Structure 1
Amino acid sequence: MAVYDVTLTHTEKVAEGTLALFFGRPDGFEYKAGQCVRLVLQNPPETDDEGNGRILSLASGPAEAELMVATRLRDTAFKRVLGGLQPGTVLTLKGPYGDFTLPADTTVPLVFITGGIGITPVRSMLLQALTEQREVTLLYANRRPQDAAFLGELQRAVLGHTTVTLVPVMTACDSWQGEKGHIDVALLRRYVPGVQSPLYYLDGPPALVSAMRLMLAEAGVPADRIRTEEFAGY
C-alpha cells in the first residue's frame, strides 16, 4: 500500500452542502478513473470513534494535474475538520484502491446511474471516457439543481460529444425543465436503446443502488452487466 503526504491547494463549494478539496499530485502517484483513496487528517483538533481517516473517491480524472475529492459536509468530527482546512494543510493519502473502473474494451457502451455524492467517481470516469470517445449515457439524480455537484461543469464538458448523453433528473423541483421524478424503466428506455446491451455502473447511497439494481432487473438487464459501489454516510 502506497502512502503519500499531500498538500491542500484550495477548496471549492461545488453544490449546496458539498465541498471539493484539491491537492497537489504526489510524484509517481498513478490511478485509474473511478478509484478511491484513504485520506487521513494529521493531528486534527477533534476526532471521533471512526478515527481520523475516510475512504473518498477521486473525482479528478487521471489526466488532471491535481487530485480532487468531494464530500457532503455533515456534523461529524471528521467532516467539521475537513470543512475548515486551510490551503497548505498536509494530509496523508493512502491508495489508490478499488475496481469500480472503466472496462478495457473502449467499444462497450456504458450507462452510469448515480445520485448525490455518487457523482464523484463518475466525474472521473466520464472525463476519461470523453478522451477515449466511448459511448456513454449518464443518468444523474438529485433533489434540486443546487444539490447537483459538478452538473454545470459536466454539461459543458459533453457539449459537442455526440457519443455522450447526460440526463439530469430532479426529484423535488417542480420548476425544473428537464426530467423529473425518479429514474424508472420508462425513463431508461427513453435514453438507452437496447437496454440489455450496455455495461451499467450504479453508485451512490445504498438505497439508490438497491433500487436501481431492481429497476435494471425489471428491464431485463443481466446481472453480469451491472457494476456497483455503495456510498454509506458518515
Structure 2
Amino acid sequence: MARVTTYMGCTIPHLLRSACRLCPAQSALVVLRHCASCYCTANGTIQSKRKMDHLERTANNFRQEVISQAKVCGITNESQTVKRLRLAITNKDFTFKAGQWVDFFIPGVSVIGGFSMCSSPAMLEREGVLELAVKYTDHPPARWIHTECTLDSEVALRVGGDFFFDPQPGDTPVKLVLIAGGVGINPLFSILLHVADLHGYQESKGNGYKMGTVALYYSAKSTSELLFKKNILGLMTAFPGKITCRFHVTQQSSPICEELQPHVTEGRISEKDLEKHVSEDTLWYICGPPPMIESISKLLYKSGVHRNCVFFEKWW
C-alpha cells in the first residue's frame, strides 16, 4: 500500500464535523488513509481512471496538524472565471511556506477542497490574512466559492504540500525560473511575492537570505486570463533586473494592451525560451496541466537540467 502519514491526535473542530461527516474522535486524515488504500498501488500509481479528488491526489503529501478557522474578509473578481478570496486566520500557530496549499473545509459541504495560496507568508505574518484565487468549476468547493460564499462566511483550513520555496539565511543563493500554465500561477505567484519580500528585506536590512534573479514564464489562452498581471508588472518595476516575466498567450483574438505588449509572446513556452536560464545554480518550479508539466520537464532534462533541480505541482 502507498505510505500515508497520519496525525491521530488531530481532531476536527465543531465547524468541520458536518462538512466531513466524521464522528468527533476522527480526523480528516482517516479519509486520506482510506483513499490511499483504495486507489493507490505500492508505487503510488492510480488504478482507477476516474478523476481523483483533492484528498486522494494529495494523500502522500505533507500536512500540518493545525486546523484553523478562518473568516472571509474580501472577495474580488480576478478574472471572469476566477474569484480571489481574502481570509482572516484566527489561529496564531497557522503558518505556510510559499507554494503550499490548504485543505478547504466548508460547513455543510462534504467534499474538501484544495487550493494553493496566492499570497506571501509575510502577508500572513503582518496582517493575519492569506489569499486564494479559485477558478469556477462544478467541483462543490469551487462552486460554493463562486455562488454561495459571502463576506464573513466561516470556513476552516489546514496547510499541506511538498512544493514550496523556503530558503534560510545561511543557504547558498540560487536563481529561480517559475513556469506557470493557467491557474497554475497561484503557488508560483506566492513564491514570486516571497522572493520580492526577500529582496526587499535584503535591500533594507543588508542581511538575511541573498536572493538571486527570478524569471517567470506564464502561459494562458489570452491576456484576459492572465491572473495577477498588474501585480507582476509592479514587481518587475520595483525590482528591475531581479524579477522578469514573459507572458505567453496561445489563443489571443483581441488586441494586446499597450502596457502588456512589451512582455507578451504569442505562442507556447519553448525550449529556446528556457535554455538561456540553464545553469548549476538555477531551480525550476512548474505548475500547470500535467501535459504541460511533462512537456516542459522533458525540455529541461534534454537541456541538461538535473532532475533534482526541477519541482512541479499537478492539479488537474
- With normalisation by structure 1, the TM-score equals 0.89
Tell me which amino acid in the other structure corresponds to 2:98: A
Tell me, in whole angstroms, the C-alpha distance in 2 between the residues paired with 1:12 and 1:31: 23
Shift of 1:107: 1.2
Tell me which amino acid in the other structure corresponds to 1:38: D
1:35 aligns with 2:94: no
SS, match of residue 214 in structure 1: helix
1:186 aligns with 2:272: yes
1:172 aligned partner: 251
Question: Equivalent of 2:135, from 66, 72, 76?
Answer: 72
Tell me, in whole angstroms, the C-alpha distance in 2 between the residues paired with 1:153 and 1:15: 14
For residues 164-218 of structure 1, the C-alpha deviation after alignment (integer angstroms, 9 at most, x for no partner) is 11111111115443211011111223xx444554110011111111111112122
Shift of 1:155: 1.1
1:132 aligns with 2:132: no
Tell me, in whole angstroms, the C-alpha distance in 2 between the residues paired with 1:131 and 1:123: 12
2:179 aligned partner: 113
1:228 aligned partner: 312
Question: Equivalent of 2:303, from 208, 211, 219?
Answer: 219
Tell me which amino acid in the other structure corresponds to 1:2: V
Query: What runs of 5+ residues in structure 1 fail to find an aligned partner?
Result: 45-50
Greater helix share, 1 or 2?
2
| Contact 2:177/2:284 (8 A) holds in 1 | yes
SS, match of residue 15 in structure 1: coil
Using the TM superposition, name which of 212-221 and 75-84 deviates more. 75-84
Using the TM superposition, name which of 102-111 and 23-32 deviates more. 102-111
Query: Residue 181 and residue 195 in structure 1: after superposition, are their counterparts in 2 closer, same or farther (change >3 A)?
Result: farther
Query: Residue 9 and residue 103 in structure 1: after superposition, are their counterparts in 2 closer, same or farther (change >3 A)?
Result: closer
Tell me which amino acid in the other structure corresponds to 1:35: Q
Question: Equivalent of 2:113, from 38, 54, 64?
Answer: 54
SS, match of residue 244 in structure 2: strand
Tell me, in whole angstroms, the C-alpha distance in 1 between the residues paired with 2:144 and 2:121: 27
2:62 aligned partner: none
Aligned residues: 223
Query: Residue 196 and residue 181 in structure 1: after superposition, are their counterparts in 2 closer, same or farther (change >3 A)?
Result: farther
SS, match of residue 128 in structure 1: helix
- With normalisation by structure 2, the TM-score equals 0.67
Tell me which amino acid in the other structure corresponds to 1:141: S
| Contact 2:101/2:161 (8 A) holds in 1 | yes
Using the TM superposition, name which of 78-87 and 172-181 deviates more. 172-181
Identity %: 23
Pairing of 1:80-99 with structure 2 (within 5 A)? 80-84=143-147, 85-94=149-158, 96-99=159-162
| Contact 2:184/2:287 (8 A) holds in 1 | yes
| Contact 2:180/2:218 (8 A) holds in 1 | yes
SS, match of residue 24 in structure 1: strand
Tell me, in whole angstroms, the C-alpha distance in 2 between the residues paired with 1:158 and 1:41: 37
Question: Equivalent of 1:154, from 216, 226, 232?
Answer: 232
Shift of 1:52: 2.4
| Contact 1:106/1:132 (8 A) holds in 2 | no
Shift of 1:99: 2.3
| Contact 2:98/2:166 (8 A) holds in 1 | no
Q: Please tell me the root mean square deviation across aligned C-alpha atoms, in Å.
A: 1.7
Tell me which amino acid in the other structure corresponds to 1:149: L
Shift of 1:160: 3.4
| Contact 2:113/2:142 (8 A) holds in 1 | no
Shift of 1:77: 2.9
SS, match of residue 81 in structure 1: helix
2:86 aligned partner: 22
For residues 124-180 of structure 1, the C-alpha deviation after alignment (integer angstroms, 9 at most, x for no partner) is 111111121221111011111110111111111221312111111111115443211
Tell me, in whole angstroms, the C-alpha distance in 1 between the residues paired with 2:80 and 2:281: 36
1:47 aligned partner: none
